[in-house]
Structure 1
Amino acid sequence: KSDDLNLAEQRLLLLIAASFFYLMEVDRVNGQSRAEEAMQLRRGFRGSIAHATCSKLDDAERIHAEIGAQTEDVDYAIQVLLTAGMSTPTLRDVAREGVGILDAGHAEIAVPFLALIPFTAMSIFSFCIDFEYLPQAAWVYYMLQVYPILCRVALLVVISRSATDERCFIMKMMTKLVAIYLAVICPILVRRDPTPSHLSSYLSVHIYIYVCICVHICVSMIKSE
């Protein structure tokens, strides 16, 4: 059974690695497409809708009549669109407060996918194996495995119910948190030994990262409301 479990774990890791690199390629292609779209949007733009022209004079007069005295608002919305990749009321309000919104309307999907889907599958797999073969383990040990799973499920729900700009913000924050998590946890896992000091360090970092994720979930829920 041990050999079968090791084989299943290796296949799962290979599938995760293949999926991750495939999604990285998707992110790369999407990034190139966004750059081309930004160049096309900026082509011929002179900084204000007042300089816009139409092939038909009637169309230009009708468009400017509909805009009326809101030229500055339209110009600002266009600037937000060019900077962030999308223009929403939330992004415009945030930009007015001086917060940087460069590429805020776009988010890479590879790292969030890695955190939400494969990591969750591995956590469930590990929990089932430990529950089967380590029935004498303390309840705290099982809670430390269940807690990250619940965090990821909650985060999936928040992402699915959020607006597009909020979803991009959450995914960008996830990318940073997962990068910090991997940078901190990998050295601990590489030099892991059964001594209590290293085990406590591992558990402390594990709990801290997922507490940060839970706080982020709560903030996102408040914003979405």
Structure 2
Amino acid sequence: MMRRGLLIPFISIILLLTSLSLIHPLARAETIRDLDAEVPEGEYHHWNLNISAGDTIRVVFESNHTVDLFFLNKKGFNDYERVVSRDEGTFEYYIQGSAMDTNSTDFSFTVPDDQDFYFIIDNTLMPDGGAQPVSNVTYSIKITKDSFDVALFWTICSVMTGLVMGLVLAIVYLTVYRKKVGVLAATERPPVSQRSSVVEVAICPDCGAYSSRGDFCTQCGRKFR
């Protein structure tokens, strides 16, 4: 049997493990983009992504010809549009979240911070070293994000904390109550010297002596009839 001193830590650990098992479902999967389309030669498709720092983004892409995929912030997107329109200059993009000269890819990355982000499917001549457009490109793309539900997480933590505190208080109450009951029972119990006792006495028919009840007289040794 588990010792009483180990009971509270044991229950607390069980509740903690239970709460941790609930954290995984708190990551909510949401589809940002899921479509089949065609990007003309020399053009690009782009989307402004509704994402936040810490979100995990997954991109699954297939096409009939190689293109470039770029993940950029607002400044990078503005620079990209200027480069494409003027056919000169440079722009910055996130290596994690981008793929050059590809027609099939499946990758994930974590959003670094909170700002406006864009995703581009590029079928232009830019940048140098990227895919070379030869025709219109048909593609299918699915972009999903896993975001952590902070509000639900703290709700679960509050509930689990309340359960632990309730169990602790209940165990403390039962421990104190049992001690009080034990002390009360001990004080109400009479001492051994005060407890009543009855001794059965008999008169021997042969010698007339008083003797404690038994098979033989304690004085003359005669057997009681």
Q: Shorter-chain-normalised TM-score: which range?
A: under 0.3
Larger Rg: 2
TM-score, with length taken from structure 1: 0.22
TM-score, with length taken from structure 2: 0.22
Identify the structure with the greater strand proportion.
2
Give the structure, 1 or 2, with the largest relative contact order (CA under 8 Å, sep 6 or more).
2
